Amino acid sequence: MFVVEMSAGLTASAASRQANAFDFLGDSANYSLFLCVLGMSLWWRAGAALVKGVSMGLFGLFVIANAAWHANTGTLPGAMTMDAVGTLALIANVICALLLMRFRDGDANMSSIWLCIRNDATGNLEAIMASLALSASWRVITHALRGLRYDAVLPTPLSTYAR
């Protein structure tokens, strides 16, 4: 999913897809770390959870910086790509969440994995909703601009609207 989302994010100039790609990469690293400390003492598992928490914070800062950069440069993400890849990522995260649901009340390490997956699925829903809003906005704006251009060429008399 990292490769799919990063490719789509770069192609569509979608900061949310790029951020989610890095999140998938971070999750993979975190899950690998989790597997390494699974049989170790609570101290090691808590330390792994601390690393996960710090990485989540860094990803959050990256998302904010990336979104600010896109806002500053005026790039507009591709709504269709955001929607399609967001849906694929949501499916992947829901499958992982279902697999991990029974472990959500475990120690800090297990709980952190559950929270990561839950946050990812929520973020995917938000990205899908944003792409739908962006797509609808684009349709309304282009329709309105066509109407303004048509009206400038052939003005409609007000008496036509009175009927």
DSSP letter string over 22-73?
Answer: HHHHHHHHHHHHHHHHTTS-HHHHHHHHHHHHHHHHHHHHHHHHHHHHHHHH
Comparing 152 with 114, which gets the higher pLDDT?
114
pLDDT tens for 5-60 read 888 877 877 777 777 787 788 778 877 887 888 788 888 888 887 887 887 788 77
Name the least confident of 93-97, 100-104, 105-109.
Answer: 105-109
Give the mean pLDDT of 107-126: 78
Check residue 152 and give its pLDDT. Answer: 57
pLDDT at 87: 83
| pLDDT-based confidence at residue 130 (cuts at 50, 70, 90) | confident
Q: Please tell me what DSSP assigns to residue 102.
A: G
- pLDDT of res. 77: 65
Q: In Å, what is the CA distance from 86 to each residue of 83, 127, 157, 159, 162? A: 5, 6, 46, 48, 46
Q: Distance of CA 141 to CAs 30, 78, 94, Å?
A: 43, 16, 34
Task: Give the start-to-end residue ranges of the domains of the chain.
Answer: 2-161
Mean of pLDDT over the chain: 77
In this predicted structure, the answer to whether residue 154 has a pLDDT above a threshold of 60 is no
pLDDT on residue 149 = 72
Pairwise CA distance, residues 95 & 90, whole Å: 9
Residue 155 has pLDDT above 60, yes or no: no
Q: CA triplet 43, 54, 3: central angle to 5 degrees?
A: 115
Q: What is the mean pLDDT of residues 77-92?
A: 76
Predicted confidence at residue 100, as pLDDT, reads 78
